[in-house]
C-alpha cells in the first residue's frame, strides 16, 4: 500500500467511523444512521483498496459521503425505517 493510499484510507476510516448515540437521541434513528454509515464506510474502504489513487476515486468517495448525508436526512425527516423501500 502506498503512502497516498494509506492517507486516503485513514481519511475514509475517520469519516465513516461509528458515532456513539448522543444522550436523549432517538436510539432507533441513531441505529439506522449507523447502519448506513457502516455500509457506506465498507464500500469506501473497498474502493480505496481496489481503485488507483486518482481524481476519479476522490469523486467516488465524495459521492459516498453525499449518499451518507442524504440517507441521514431521509432517516431524520421520515422517522422510523419501514423496511419496505418506500
Domain boundaries, the chain: 36-77
Rounded CA separation 14/20 (Å): 14
**pLDDT the model gives residue 19:** 81
Burial 23-40 (b: 16+ CB within 10 A, else e): eeeeeebeebbeebbeeb
Rounded CA separation 77/29 (Å): 10
Walk along the chain (86 residues) and give the pLDDT tens digit of each residue: 789 889 999 999 998 888 887 787 788 888 898 999 999 999 999 999 999 999 999 999 999 999 999 999 999 888 764 555 55
DSSP structure class, residue 26 = -
**pLDDT the model gives residue 84:** 53
**pLDDT the model gives residue 39:** 95
- The 3-state DSSP class for residue 17 equals coil
> Would the CA dihedral through 78, 16, 19, 27 be positive or negative?
positive
Q: Rounded to two decimals, what is the model's pTM?
A: 0.82
**pLDDT the model gives residue 79:** 72
Amino acid at each position: 500500500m502506498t503512502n497516498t493510499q494509506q492517507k486516503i484510507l485513514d481519511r475514509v476510516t475517520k469519516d465513516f467511523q461509528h458515532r456513539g448515540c448522543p444522550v436523549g437521541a432517538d436510539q432507533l434513528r441513531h441505529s439506522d444512521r449507523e447502519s448506513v454509515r457502516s455500509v457506506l464506510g465498507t464500500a469506501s474502504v473497498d474502493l480505496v483498496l481496489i481503485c488507483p489513487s486518482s481524481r476519479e476515486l476522490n469523486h467516488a468517495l465524495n459521492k459516498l459521503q453525499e449518499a451518507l448525508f442524504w440517507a441521514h436526512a431521509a432517516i431524520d425527516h421520515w422517522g422510523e425505517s419501514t423496511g419496505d423501500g418506500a
